[in-house]
A and B are shown apart, each in its own frame.
Chain A
Amino acid sequence: MDVILVQILNGLDKGAAYALIALGLTLIFGTLGVVNFAHGALFMIGAFCAVTMQRFLNLSQTVIDETQTDFLGNPLKVEVPYVQSWFGEAAGAAIQDWSVPLSILLVIPVMLFVGWAMERGLIKHFYKRPHADQILVTFGLAIVIGEIIKAFYGANPIQTPMPSAFIGTIDLGTWLGMDPGAVAYPMWRMVYFFFAAAVIAAVFAFLQFTTFGMVVRAGMADRETVGMLGIDIDKRFTLMFGLAACVAGLAGMMYAPILSPHYNIGMDFLVLSFVVVVVGGMGSLPGAVLAGFVLGILQSFASMNEVKAILPGIDQIIIYLVAIIILLTRPRGLMGRKGVMEE
């Protein structure tokens, strides 16, 4: 029992990342009908926002500290981060410590802008072109974004520590009446899961309970009719693109402490996310979320030593295998609708 629970939990954080990316992909596909191969790059930009925030908060000035002396008896020069001199030492250090969650302040405007710029500057011109062209141009864009990031941040993964409060594990087993230590779970992954759940809930609530969301849903169902009612649906869809970019960026930002960001991180996630979208059913938001979690958990089960002893390396191919089987048995995916991308 506890073994199963541990594997489910282990799958949750990765599944949550897949679900968030797949959700964004589906939003873009459902609203604009565009297959966005650059979505992984948006995930990566989010992760690098966290890196940037951390570097920004660690900018320091050199101050002469009169109370201390170095070994020659001169006053000691110390590096004091700006935030510490502005907010006081304790508060400043706390801000630095919390840099990853704080980068949300950077991620949201940056991603909204990137999404807006991408849609208006590039993707707008591709609505009438075949899907193959959309795939190709966004694939090119993904290469370009990756290379720009590489030019600025180098090719090596950059460690981005989480707040020290979240280092360590939670002993979930004791809560459920099991032996202490049976189900120990890293705290940050727990945070990631709840964060992802909150983002997903927020997106669904936004679409379900606001007028704006209602119009967008109407537009997804029948764009022309909504346009005829005098609603500027294009403007709203552009905003939805920005929102999808935000979701990907937030997913990347919170994932930075789990997997050190590097310029190719987005590509690794993107291929899997596409599989997730297809398994979930192209154009279905709940399907994307469901498939994300299911595949994440399956992958975690496949990486158990007991399973690997029978089928070595199954953890690396399980997602693709499942995708192939699903597409052949349920061609529209788990929750796909009829008539999406079938011409």
Chain B
Amino acid sequence: MLGLNSRDLKLFLLVVAMTMLAPILLNPFPADSALGESFNAGYPALLQRFVIFGLLVIGFNILFGLTGYLSFGHAAFLGVGSYAAVWMFKLLSYNVIPAIILSVIVAGIFSVVIGYVALRRSGIYFSILTLAFAQMMYAIAYSDLVGKFLGTIVTNGETGLQVYADDPQILASPGDPVLPHLFGLEMNAQTVLAVGGWEFTFQFGYYLSALVMLAGFYLSIRIFRSPFGMMLRAIKSNQTRMSYTGLDTKPYMLAAFVISGCYAGLAGGLMSSMDPLTGGERMFWTASGEIVVMSILGGVGTLIGPVLGAGLIKYLENIISKINDGILHQWFAFMPDWLDNLLVTIIHPFVGKGWHLTLGLLFMAVVIFLPGGLMQLGEKIAALFGRKTKSDDDAKTGATEPAE
């Protein structure tokens, strides 16, 4: 069905079910309980981030996972996508359709140019070239150099680009909402369903992003299973040999780079649609680093791994940075005082503001012990319990050595 084999279809349907039911599944605790305040993740702002970053890493995975080219400047496309979308809001109307379309096109154009230049080199040089491009674009956006050059506003520098009341918005009709909407349906329109102590919030913006993400996921499965995807893997395992067989690898690489840039632009467009304000920080190299971290953590080269990684990081970021000493003391209240204090002192540096420390350590641990990320962990655990698992051919290709 849908042109997928049965395993991929199962995976895809599982992901569809998970994203559709996420507002319920991620709210396992009653709303006013202590656990609910700490661990519930089923609120729209966070759910949106899950799917949008999910989409971003799905695209990144097509480049890094399939071809092995590590781009350290992928956030640049996210940034141009966001700017393009906000400009559409400013010029046309708050309808998200033109915004999202333009963000993909603009990111696509940028990735053609950058990819054409950066792909002339491989390995570490490619990483550094993409990093240099991204930093350059960050500098340009953050100080609005294009705007200064032209004597107008393009990215609005440090303030960030947003929609003002006196913007033209030529397609807007008087009755339209003054927030991003889809033909009148506002992005933050939501219904709250209260069942007992539980509260489930269903937001339109989330479902729109989720649908886009699912479409992107479907496309990525098709790419993974296509001859084109096979070609990209061949490039990863031995590019020189591909060239010796008389094949020009460059168009394939460029296509992968542009597809991946378009995904990032799409994610940027969605991000602006959820909150019509964007700034240069979105393109800073730490943002690119975060994309890499998410993909690696989940398991690069697998279909679903990077999405899991993105979800996990956004979830942990949200949970861990909320924890403070007071909450820790509550948790350990049943212990003797000295043990309570000791544990709080030990844990203190890793929670709250120390979240990045936890992230760094987690990331290092994954790179050192689990190069295949969470997906590999899952396989190992499955193997431990003696369950016969079908070998996941996606995970395997990452580790395959070219036969000499």
Chain A residues numbered 153-189 whose CB sits less than 8 Å from any CB in chain B: none
Given known pairs A271-B131, A274-B131, A320-B136, the reply for A147 and B285 (CB within 8 Å) is no
Interface centre among B132, B289, B361 (most CB of A within 10 A): B132
Interface: A229 (CB within 8 A)? no
Contact A313 B354 (CB under 8 A): no
Assess whether A144 is in contact with B149, with CB atoms less than 8 Å apart: no
Complex contact A328–B70 (CB within 8 A)? no
Secondary structure dominating the interface of B: helix
A341 interface residue per 8 A CB criterion: yes
Contacts of A331 in B (CB 8 A): 120-121, 125
Determine the chain A residues whose CB is within 8 A of the CB of B285 once the complex forms: 271
B124–A282 touching, CB < 8 Å: yes
Chain A residues with CB under 8 Å of B127's CB are 132, 135
When chains A and B are docked, how far (Å) is the Cα of A331 from the Cα of B240? 17
Contact across chains for A278 and B133 when beta carbons are under 8 A apart? no
B139 touches A151 (CB 8 A): no
Are A313 and B132 closer than 8 Å at their CB atoms?
no
Q: How far is the CA of A215 from the CA of B357 in the complex (A)?
A: 39
- A117 at the A/B interface (Cβ < 8 Å)? no
A324 touches B128 (CB 8 A): no
The complex places the Cα of A320 from the Cα of B363 at a distance, in Å, of 28
- In whole Å, how far is B395's beta carbon from the nearest beta carbon of chain A? 16
In the complex the two chains form, is A140's CB within 8 Å of B363's CB? Answer: yes
Q: B345-367 toward A: CB 8 Å interface, digit per residue (1/0)?
A: 00001000010110111011001
* A55 contacts the other chain (CB 8 A): no
Decide yes or no whether B129 CB sits under 8 A from chain A.
Answer: yes
* Chain A residues, Cβ within 8 Å of B70: 132, 135
Other-chain contact of B129, A35, A122, A324 (Cβ < 8 Å): A324
Does B292 lie within 8 Å of A328, measured CB to CB?
no
Residue B378 is within 8 A (CB to CB) of chain A in the complex = no
B347 to chain A, nearest CB (A): 13
Kindly supply a per-residue 1/0 record for chain B positions 128-155, scoring 1 wherever the CB is within 8 Å of any chain A CB and 0 otherwise. Answer: 1101110110011001010011000000
Q: Indicate if A226 sits at the interface (CB-CB under 8 A).
A: no
Q: Which residue of A lies closest to B114 (CB)?
A: A324
User: What separation, in Å, do the CA atoms of A343 and B241 have in the docked complex?
Assistant: 11
Interface residues on B, range: 35 or more
Chain B 276-298, CB within 8 Å of chain A: the 1/0 string? 00000000011001001100100
Contact residues in A for B17 (Cβ distance below 8 Å): none
CB-nearest residue of chain B to A137: B367
Secondary structure of the A contact surface, majority rule: helix
From B123, B140, B293, B361, A341 is in contact (CB under 8 Å) with: B123
Chain B residue with the shortest CB-CB distance to A322: B132
A residues 104-151 near B (Cβ < 8 Å) are 122, 125, 129, 131-133, 135-137, 139-141, 143-144, 146-148, 151
A323, B368: Cβ atoms under 8 Å? no
Minimum CB–CB distance for A17 against chain B, Å: 17
How far is it, in angstroms, between the C-alpha of A136 and the C-alpha of B367 when the chains are bound?
7
A248 CB–B CB distance under 8 Å:
no
CA distance A341 to B354 in the complex (A): 36
Kindly supply a per-residue 1/0 record for chain B positions 237-254, scoring 1 wherever the CB is within 8 Å of any chain A CB and 0 otherwise.
000100000000000000
**Contacts A135-B70, A135-B124, A331-B120 hold; do A275 and B357 have CB atoms under 8 A apart?**
no
- Chain A residues contacting B367 (CB-CB under 8 Å) are 133, 136-137, 140
Q: Which of A144, A282, A323, A327 contacts B360, CB < 8 Å?
A: A144
If A132-B70, A320-B136 touch, does A143 touch B356 (CB 8 Å cutoff)? yes
Residues of B within 8 A of A282 (CB): 124-125
Is residue A321 within 8 Å, beta carbon to beta carbon, of the partner chain? yes
Q: Does A227 contact B (CB under 8 A)?
A: no
**Can you list 19 contacts pairing A with B, beta carbon distance less than 8 Å?**
A122-B368, A132-B68, A133-B371, A137-B368, A140-B293, A144-B361, A147-B357, A147-B360, A151-B354, A151-B357, A271-B135, A278-B128, A282-B125, A316-B139, A317-B140, A327-B120, A341-B124, A343-B123, A343-B240
If A140-B361, A271-B131, A317-B145 are given as contacts, then 7 extra A-B residue pairs at C-beta distance below 8 Å, sorted by A number, are A125-B368, A139-B292, A139-B363, A144-B357, A146-B356, A312-B145, A317-B139
A-B CB proximity, top 8 nearest: A143-B360, A147-B357, A140-B364, A313-B145, A144-B360, A320-B136, A316-B139, A312-B148
